[in-house]
Amino acid sequence: MLTEFGKVFIFILIAAAFVAIALFAAYFVRPKRPTKEKLTTYECGENPIGTPWVKFNIRFYVVALIFLIFDVEVVLLFPWAVVYKQFGFYGFVVGAFFLLVLFLGMAFEWRKGDLNWDKPKIDIPKKVIVEKKIAPPVVDQNVSSDTE
Amino acid sequence: MYDILTNIFGNQIVAYIIGAALPLFVWILPFVLFAVLGERKVSAHMQDRLGPMRVGYHGILQTVADLLKLLQKEDIVTPAADRKLFNLAPYIVFLGSYAAFAAIPFSSIYIGSGIEVGIFYILAVSSFVVVGILMGGWASDNKYSLLGAMRSAAQIVSYEIPTAIVVLTLVMLTGTLNLNTISQQQTAYFWNWNILGGAAGSGITQILLIPFMVIAFVILFISTLAEVNRTPFDIPEAESELVAGFHTEYSGMKFAMFFLSEYANMFAVSAIVVTLFFGGYQSPFGYLGNSLGIPWLIPVEQLFWFLAKGVFFVFVQMWLRWTLPRLRVDQLMTVCWKYLIPYAVFNLLIVGIISLL
């Protein structure tokens, strides 16, 4: 007799086995004719320049950090939520206080601007009024009268 | 359920294996075949086109043809890629999305695993997908893949928080994490569903709860949409700028596995929404089996209702995909951190007060 988590484990094994079998089945059917061109990294048809494993935007790291804090908070709140009704108003105050403390931290992050993603800066050139002395066009009386 | 299977197959271990494979072969694979075609048909008809028409009647076998094509495609792994991680990623992604099906109650007799931490477990394993995506994107040695994977990870982990807070709201009302128990609480008629405040039970509390339950549902739906990378949150695989996102370098069956797990995920999140808010496998108006006096018909009807509700929400996801334009990255983060999370927490506190009345 398996425990309930044992059944979950069988689900995971089935999923892994399914992927393995599908990939293995394709192994017999598919061709294998690699060429130099096929094996280059795809960069819209150009020759790839440099490695992609470079420094990435620090924003992702900040998001991950804030996520970590909130996720831990949510995990801590789950047991509270399950027994919420047994504790009545006292339970509510405790939970609300916990959330309040957390949201102070969030307000701090918000104020500091860590929740703002970099927006594309649109560079609008200032309106420069250039006054040019434009010489009055020489108007040939006969031509202009014709066009009018 | 496992008892029935043990009786049929005579062996408990075989019964466990068959029971765990059932959702995959009986539901997910046919569903994906149908949903991929369905998506193309939905998009086509929304844009006044016909969509695939050649393979079979009205293109009904189009996905089968696509699958056969993918099966024959050469498997290309660039020498620059990190081969081990590159090959491991499809496993992890599919494993994460399939493991969630273990705790989803399809019917009162078919529940893969009746673990007590149900919904919490689903939240935990569905973030497993992030690992796979990040792994695939990083190992591909492709700038598009890496960018797509980064964005995808940031998006999925961010939107996990509003999801979790809304789930907390529901757990406060139901007092349990077990999805089967939550489904059982919403029995009988549709006014017992959680979206109509069913979990609160009595009269005035139930009516007061309705607007906040609707808010909770909308938040959950938006954030699950973002978690499965669907438009309007498909920045990770924005075709117009990142080619195909984290699976740019994948070809053949490995690509098919990513595709499969995306569609399996779509159904999984719909199933979560249905179970939490729309009565799970419960029928909206009584059972035919009860009125006719045929007890074995009830689980079948429950299965039908569950799948019908799930497919409806998958359809809504497709509908949104072809209606809304894509958000920008900064808008995406703003929606999550500055709107959904504060609203969800506010909603949680109000529901907490109401449920104490």
Check CB contact under 8 Å for A53 and B356: no
Between CA B230 and CA B217 the distance in angstroms is: 17
Q: Give the residue from B27, B176, B180 showing the smallest Cα distance to B109.
A: B180
Token representation of residue B350? 């109000």
Per-residue pLDDT reduced to its tens digit, B89-145: 888 888 888 888 888 888 888 787 778 888 888 888 888 888 888 888 888 888 888
Cβ atoms of residues B106 and B270 within 8 Å: no
| Count of CB pairs separated by less than 8 Å, A with B | 208
Task: Look up residue B111 and give its DSSP letter.
Answer: B
Going from N- to C-terminal start, the domains of chain A cover: 4-118
pLDDT score recorded for residue B141: 80
Beta bridge partners of residue B285, listed in sequence order: B189
Q: Which of B71, B334, B353 sits opposite A26 (nearest CB)?
A: B71
pLDDT score recorded for residue B5: 75
Least reliable range by pLDDT among A39-43, A131-135, B148-152, B314-318 = A131-135
Find which of A28, A41, A83 to mutate to test the B interface (most B CBs within 10 Å of its CB). Answer: A41
Q: At B213, is the pLDDT very low, low, confident or very high (cuts 50, 70, 90)?
A: confident
Closest residue in B to A66 (Cα–Cα): B158
* DSSP per-residue string spanning B185-244: HT-SBGGGSGGGTGGG-SHHHHHHHHHHHHHHHHHHHHHHHHHTT-TTS-GGG-HHHHTT
* pLDDT score of A95 more than 80: yes
Per-residue pLDDT reduced to its tens digit, A31-79: 888 787 777 777 777 777 777 777 777 777 877 888 888 888 888 888 8
* CA of A123 vs chain B CAs: smallest distance (Å): 18
Per-residue pLDDT reduced to its tens digit, B90-102: 888 888 888 888 8
pLDDT score recorded for residue B196: 77
pLDDT score recorded for residue B63: 85
Between CA B27 and CA A68 the distance in angstroms is: 35
Q: Let me know if B13 is exposed, middle or buried by CB neighbors in 10 A (0-12, 13-18, 19+).
A: exposed
pTM equals: 0.85
The CATH homologous superfamily for domain A4-118 is NADH:ubiquinone/plastoquinone oxidoreductase, chain 3 (1.20.58.1610)
ipTM of the complex: 0.84
pLDDT score recorded for residue A143: 52
Q: Pick the most confident of A130-134, A136-140, B268-272.
A: B268-272
pLDDT, mean of residues B336-349: 88
Residue corresponding to tokens 């309930």: A4
pLDDT score recorded for residue A132: 65
Q: Which residues of B touch A11 (CB under 8 A)?
A: 20, 98-99, 101-102, 112-113
Q: At A147, is the pLDDT very low, low, confident or very high (cuts 50, 70, 90)?
A: very low
Per-residue pLDDT reduced to its tens digit, B21-69: 888 888 888 888 888 888 888 888 888 888 888 887 888 888 888 888 8
pLDDT score recorded for residue A39: 77
Check CB contact under 8 Å for A64 and B20: no
Between CA B145 and CA A47 the distance in angstroms is: 16
Going from N- to C-terminal start, the domains of chain B cover: 1-72, 82-356
Check CB contact under 8 Å for A23 and B113: no
User: Exposed e or buried b for every residue in A27-37, given b needs 16+ CB within 10 A?
Assistant: eeebeeeeeee
Q: At A148, is the pLDDT very low, low, confident or very high (cuts 50, 70, 90)?
A: very low
Q: Which residue has better confidence, B225 or A37?
A: B225
